[in-house]
Structure 1
């Protein structure tokens, strides 16, 4: 058996693992990365990137479909457009391949040794990798666990046949006529919205009383309105019971206690994700757990010396950019730099229609000693030019009453995700309202709404 001795061993080539490996290489640390599939992880290969590609295509198709029904802004089409799922898949796969190749090139440039295969640990810093052709034993001084997460499988809706996860939903061979989505979180709503625009008949089943239960009602309202206006059937306060006997319908129990059958060619079980902790020898590493997650401290250190953990396997928020930031930090700690993971804010984005951004504290978390400034996008010239002024969108700034420091920013609207960086930077840098009010924002842009919301908090908004 071939043996590899390495300074740093990274398990998992997702946005946490590959960033950690690249940074280790940049810092001159001998680094080995083990990945069982393709570098880039679930986000690049099966999640974030493919879903955004589907959302973009669906928006184009929807606009063309509407232009074939009635002229829009002077544009009309003589007949409805057609959609070829396999054609879309080819375009999407091209994007994924290009990004995957880019990550591979970055790892090579950083001098990272990539081993393809699945790791199995025998102790905290030794693992065996079955790479197909031969087995490799890897011994490391430091181990970074970045194994990520996998979709949650419901006991009454096991994956297989017509019951799919988000992975299969983004790799369909043909567009299903009828889709039922179980779970109204961001994964289910992003994919459901796209499928509805592409022509599927979509129904959503959610046990909670509203969609996107982790967001406040004001942010959710414009998204719910879009779903209702576009004939997406919402079954809230309902429970999925399982498939009918012939497998052609999903049986649900409504909040009134009635049993209803929803016809479905595909059922997308989107009940969240769970840490990928099985199958690679975690039990051999003597690592303390925090429920289903690996327990870490402020440096992402586990209870076992020189074993680190980053990303989804360590808990919420399960976001690619959190994993990447942790991976970069851990690499620098291993290289003897003094770092802790203590961000002021981690942005969360929901790519629904309209989009949602939430950064920092929410109104409930901020409490009573805050000032709230809200600017409606119906007063934004740029939102009007995007045909998005009437969606109910807004930008909301939360600041402390005593020193006017910004503690939270939330927004909902078309293309509002592009403001996430500005919102996050303002909080991370400790900005006060006057910092935003005193900044000149380009016109016409959506960023002006951030400026106006800050002015509103100061009592002198210009356009609202």
Structure 2
């Protein structure tokens, strides 16, 4: 038996590299190549494997230390045969540029270069296609081993004639990647010394700022810090805790749930439900059942809405406690890449973290010419139900504006909607929106498209608003309440991201890769702060990906669709490719539209104005998109989402037995219609 010093091997030009995790302790039995610790430079994370097997007698470093080549990591007792190499080995390395060899006719075979001991490594991304012009050092493919993700760069410039591999293939040194025309002969490149990053870096965009440096003490230390407790943030925190990471969740407000649960999607749905019931009661007169005029008690309506919110946010607090997630209340800002300062009502706390997930969300956009006045509100203010105005203006014809317009119109307000573009609910196909417009033609006093709001003035009797455009009234109009719903802007510039070295665009967005990593490898970002669509369900999915990637799992955001829903009356929902997108992208598509006028359930409900549309790839007949307009469309769209993700075709859906009579069976009937086998409509041409 002998005692061996295990040292940091050759890690190229890297010096004084941070130790972010120590994977061993005294008494552990380790095998050769087992990871001892994780290092992190400003460019990459890397595992340092053991070059010997034995029993750990002493660990000489701890998380937070800085190490260089030759630093002693641990003392390991070996059996003699398994002594450590006298010459330091190398940490896992990123591949050198791919090797090139002549294939004839001026075409070069670009091969996988020396990638060390790695063999049969999966290809997870192809960065080029036939016809692409590539430059020297440009990434061709991305590989992923059980320890690292690495890009394989081109050794020369040229034009790609053929790609020889596809996603899912496994490759080793010498595997031909592409045929490259115009590339000069290149000798196989030597093995690179730069460490392989734990994940591919985010796409180049905003320049990386100079990170700050914090030398003070920390009040709290954790494995994972999550900034922001909206749906994405609390989901990321809970998933991190479930994976065994000591987790801290920083939230500026006293309750969890963020904008969505507290002042967004949940309270708005409570009010929209109330409005829908009021409308349905009114429509019962046609069934021979009449009620008197509704008596509206705003205080009780507010209490109902608040009760819904309280029930959900209270449940989140309980789940955080059950998972031992430490919630720190206050405004969090980074002070360096591993520390965050949280300013709360009771003072300041500093949290030291190994990894972090930014889930800082967004805020409502303000128009500079709109006066500060209690009669001017954003979506949060509108949900407070300050009054039932006689006349109300909604600036913005998107989903948020139209949802709140629906609520206030049902409560008795006269509603004007103004939108500077040429349509409402942009993003949805126009055929869906037309059904909504026809149904709501009497709900609103005026819908002004292609019209700008140019000025607003607060006076004693109301807010006077001036317009310019196709349907603009000549004189300023007086309103009792004005809702500004023109979008949301990310909070990326409000969290001290630059102090952590995280790049933020001029607009406040943070760019990430498919694992949600920012340009700083141990810091991730999710939700509204990384870009459109700003939707809670997208943020939740991203939060899970970020937590799992931080834990070292092969998790990626690779969704084929992200559904959108307008919870208006009728609801409008869509997922995957729209017809407009297919046309713009040159996709050959087919569609089938099943009208709810042929749906027994829709007719029985007295709501047969809607339809269900499926969009198919013409070659494969697979579902690539869909849209639904009608009662409960937001609930129905989930089957379309699953169909897209699972690669289902028209036969898969059409042959699935749907319950009758339901609105959901309209999806199956649309698939049958596309196949030409639907018997609930006049005969169709069979595909």
What's the TM-score, normalizing by structure 2?
Answer: 0.65
Deviation at 1:213, TM superposition (A): 2.2
Query: In 1, Cα distance between the equivalents of 2:471 and 2:231?
Result: 43
Which string of whole-angstrom CA distances, capped at 9 and with x for unpartnered residues, describes residues 333-361 of structure 1?
A: 11111111011111111111111111100
1:49 and 2:266 correspond: yes
Tell me, what secondary structure is at the counterpart of 2:261? Answer: helix
Q: Aligned ranges for residues 226-241 of structure 1 at < 5 Å?
A: 226-241=439-454
Which string of whole-angstrom CA distances, capped at 9 and with x for unpartnered residues, describes residues 363-385 of structure 1?
A: 12224522211100111111112
Q: Aligned ranges for residues 312-323 of structure 1 at < 5 Å?
A: 312-323=528-539
Match of 1:282 in 2: 497
Q: Which has the higher contact order (CA 8 A, sep 6+)?
A: 1
1:102 and 2:321 correspond: no
Tell me, what secondary structure is at the counterpart of 1:329? Answer: helix
Q: Aligned ranges for residues 153-168 of structure 1 at < 5 Å?
A: 153-168=366-381
Deviation at 1:159, TM superposition (A): 4.8
Deviation at 1:119, TM superposition (A): 0.8
Tell me, what secondary structure is at the counterpart of 1:127? Answer: strand
The alpha-carbon distance between structure 1 residues 258 and 72, as it changes in their structure 2 partners (threshold 3 A), is: closer
Match of 2:464 in 1: 249
Deviation at 1:90, TM superposition (A): 0.2
Q: Aligned ranges for residues 115-126 of structure 1 at < 5 Å?
A: 115-126=328-339
Match of 2:280 in 1: 63
Whether the aligned pair in 2 keeps the contact of 1:86 and 1:173 (CA below 8 Å) is no
Match of 1:382 in 2: 601
Higher mean alpha-carbon deviation, 9-18 vs 350-359, is at 350-359
RMSD: 1.6
Query: In 2, Cα distance between the equivalents of 1:231 and 1:295?
Result: 40
Match of 1:427 in 2: 644
The alpha-carbon distance between structure 1 residues 178 and 309, as it changes in their structure 2 partners (threshold 3 A), is: same
Query: In 1, Cα distance between the equivalents of 2:598 and 2:471?
Result: 41
Deviation at 1:257, TM superposition (A): 6.8
The alpha-carbon distance between structure 1 residues 290 and 131, as it changes in their structure 2 partners (threshold 3 A), is: closer
Whether the aligned pair in 1 keeps the contact of 2:276 and 2:569 (CA below 8 Å) is no
Whether the aligned pair in 1 keeps the contact of 2:490 and 2:529 (CA below 8 Å) is yes
1:151 and 2:370 correspond: no
Specify the structure having the higher radius of gyration (Cα): 2
Query: In 2, Cα distance between the equivalents of 1:59 and 1:402?
Result: 42
Query: In 2, Cα distance between the equivalents of 1:65 and 1:459?
Result: 40
Match of 1:193 among 391, 406, 426: 406
Query: In 2, Cα distance between the equivalents of 1:328 and 1:81?
Result: 45
Match of 2:487 among 250, 268, 272: 272
Which string of whole-angstrom CA distances, capped at 9 and with x for unpartnered residues, describes residues 69-88 of structure 1?
A: xx2323112x3111122211
Match of 1:32 in 2: 248
Unaligned runs of 5+ in 2: 1-216, 682-687
Query: In 1, Cα distance between the equivalents of 2:379 and 2:392?
Result: 13
1:331 and 2:547 correspond: yes
Whether the aligned pair in 2 keeps the contact of 1:181 and 1:202 (CA below 8 Å) is yes
Tell me, what secondary structure is at the counterpart of 2:423? Answer: coil
Query: In 2, Cα distance between the equivalents of 1:17 and 1:314?
Result: 13
Query: In 2, Cα distance between the equivalents of 1:131 and 1:52?
Result: 31
Match of 1:206 in 2: 419
The alpha-carbon distance between structure 1 residues 15 and 438, as it changes in their structure 2 partners (threshold 3 A), is: same
Query: In 2, Cα distance between the equivalents of 1:421 and 1:257?
Result: 39
Deviation at 1:283, TM superposition (A): 2.6
Deviation at 1:221, TM superposition (A): 0.3
Higher mean alpha-carbon deviation, 128-137 vs 428-437, is at 128-137
Unaligned runs of 5+ in 1: none
Higher mean alpha-carbon deviation, 273-282 vs 429-438, is at 273-282
Deviation at 1:173, TM superposition (A): 3.1
Match of 2:588 in 1: 369
Query: In 2, Cα distance between the equivalents of 1:455 and 1:410?
Result: 16
Tell me, what secondary structure is at the counterpart of 2:638? Answer: helix
Whether the aligned pair in 1 keeps the contact of 2:371 and 2:456 (CA below 8 Å) is no
Query: In 2, Cα distance between the equivalents of 1:195 and 1:258?
Result: 22
Deviation at 1:262, TM superposition (A): 2.4
Query: In 1, Cα distance between the equivalents of 2:558 and 2:372?
Result: 37
Whether the aligned pair in 2 keeps the contact of 1:65 and 1:81 (CA below 8 Å) is no
The alpha-carbon distance between structure 1 residues 85 and 256, as it changes in their structure 2 partners (threshold 3 A), is: closer
Match of 1:21 in 2: 237
Query: In 2, Cα distance between the equivalents of 1:14 and 1:148?
Result: 8
Aligned length: 458
Whether the aligned pair in 1 keeps the contact of 2:373 and 2:458 (CA below 8 Å) is no
Query: In 2, Cα distance between the equivalents of 1:461 and 1:361?
Result: 24
Tell me, what secondary structure is at the counterpart of 1:248? Answer: strand
Whether the aligned pair in 1 keeps the contact of 2:492 and 2:504 (CA below 8 Å) is no
Tell me, what secondary structure is at the counterpart of 1:181? Answer: strand
Whether the aligned pair in 2 keeps the contact of 1:125 and 1:142 (CA below 8 Å) is yes
Deviation at 1:203, TM superposition (A): 0.5
Match of 1:346 among 527, 544, 562: 562
Which string of whole-angstrom CA distances, capped at 9 and with x for unpartnered residues, describes residues 113-140 of structure 1?
A: 0011111211122111122113211010
Whether the aligned pair in 2 keeps the contact of 1:126 and 1:137 (CA below 8 Å) is yes
Tell me, what secondary structure is at the counterpart of 1:460? Answer: coil
Query: In 1, Cα distance between the equivalents of 2:495 and 2:474?
Result: 41
The alpha-carbon distance between structure 1 residues 318 and 256, as it changes in their structure 2 partners (threshold 3 A), is: closer
Query: In 2, Cα distance between the equivalents of 1:102 and 1:364?
Result: 41
